[in-house]
Amino acid sequence: MRNRGALKHVPIHFHDYGALARIAVADIPNMLKEVPRWREDYAAIARVALGRSGCALQYVDNHRSDYGSLASLAIKTTPSAISYVEMAFADYYALAKLAVVMSPTTLMYVSKHYANYTTLARIAVRRDAEALAHVAWNCATYDEIARAAVRKHGRDALIFIPRERSVYAALRAIVVANGEEPMESDSEDDPIPEADDDEDDDDDEKDDVVDKKTRALRVVSEELFDFKDAMPEQTYVSMSNALKRAFDQV
């Protein structure tokens, strides 16, 4: 069943519908949206789809008694699938924790308004310093989360903290006290060495450009978090994925 959308033309009471549906969603996971949710074999079909792409979770009814296990499979396949799970879901914390443990940068899909956001953020930044780049700047516990990241990763985490934040100096002091030398782009006190040639000037300019791009992307990330509940879910996920790709390319 290689023809995209062919499943919708198969009679739902056809005796081999289940087998054909599994073939279809294994090839194109989003074809799960064509499978009637009332079928007794829906879970089996859904597991095939979710095992290929967690994004198919968007087509699963979150009122199902087995939604938690299906969502868990989706997140194990595609950690960013946590973006399809509503915060009100009873097992949201366990699923969100699974997501950030598997891929710490998926913290970007967790709303800063979630009650256990700080706990999840601390887990994420302790596992990967880069996750700090996805912590909302205006989160009330940002300084606490940043401190956890710096204590774990030192200067590798410090590079993600804006120097204008009041906590920056204290965190930089922790890095220095641990015997690390902050990266030149993060150092406020170290003198800027004179360039020996044009190549050094070019390197400094490139570092400055990267820093500005990263800061700009963080602002966009923060705004996207704030508008999450006001936009269609698929739009939010698509924009979030595009933003993460942009972060990766800086």
Looking at the fold, whether 227 and 107 belong to one and the same domain comes out as yes
Write down the pLDDT at residue 187.
40
Whether this prediction's pTM lies above 0.85 is answered by: no
Q: What is the pLDDT of residue 17?
A: 74
The reply to whether 27 and 61 lie within a common domain is yes
For the chain, residues with pLDDT lower than 50 are 3, 184-195
Q: In sequence order, what DSSP letters do the residues of 17-28 get, joined into one string?
A: HHHHHHHHHHH-
Cβ-contact 76, 208 below 8 angstroms: no
Same domain, 152 and 172: yes
**Given the structure tokens 């006190």, which residue do they identify?**
189
Looking at 77, 103, 119, the residue that finishes a domain is 77
Q: What is the model's pLDDT at position 19? A: 85
Residue 178: predicted pLDDT: 80
Domain boundary among 42, 77, 112: 77
- In a shared domain, residues 60 and 122: no
Mean pLDDT of the chain: 81
- Shared domain for 126 and 20, answered yes or no, is no
Query: What is the residue type of 154?
Result: G
| Judgement on whether residues 27 and 151 belong to the same structural domain of the protein | no
Q: Which residues of 27-50 are buried (b: 16+ CB within 10 A; e: fewer)?
A: bbbbbbebbeeeeeebbebbbbbb
Same-domain check for residues 64 and 123 = no
Residues 98 and 139 in one domain: yes
Angle ∠(114,120,123) on CA atoms, nearest 5:
170
Of 51, 77, 103, the domain-final residue: 77
- Assess whether 52 and 136 both reside in one domain: no
Q: Are residues 5 and 117 in the same domain?
A: no
Cα-Cα-Cα-Cα dihedral of 188, 191, 195, 199, to 10°? -30
Give residue 28's identity as a one-letter amino acid code.
I
231 and 110 housed in the same domain: yes
| Residues 156 and 57 placed together within one structural domain of the fold | no
Tell which residue, 49, 50, 11, 44, has the closest CA to residue 27: 49
What are the tens digits of pLDDT across the range 59-100?
999 999 999 999 999 999 999 999 999 999 999 999 999 999
Domain carrying residue 102: 78-249
The total domain count for the chain is: 2
245: tokens are 């790709």
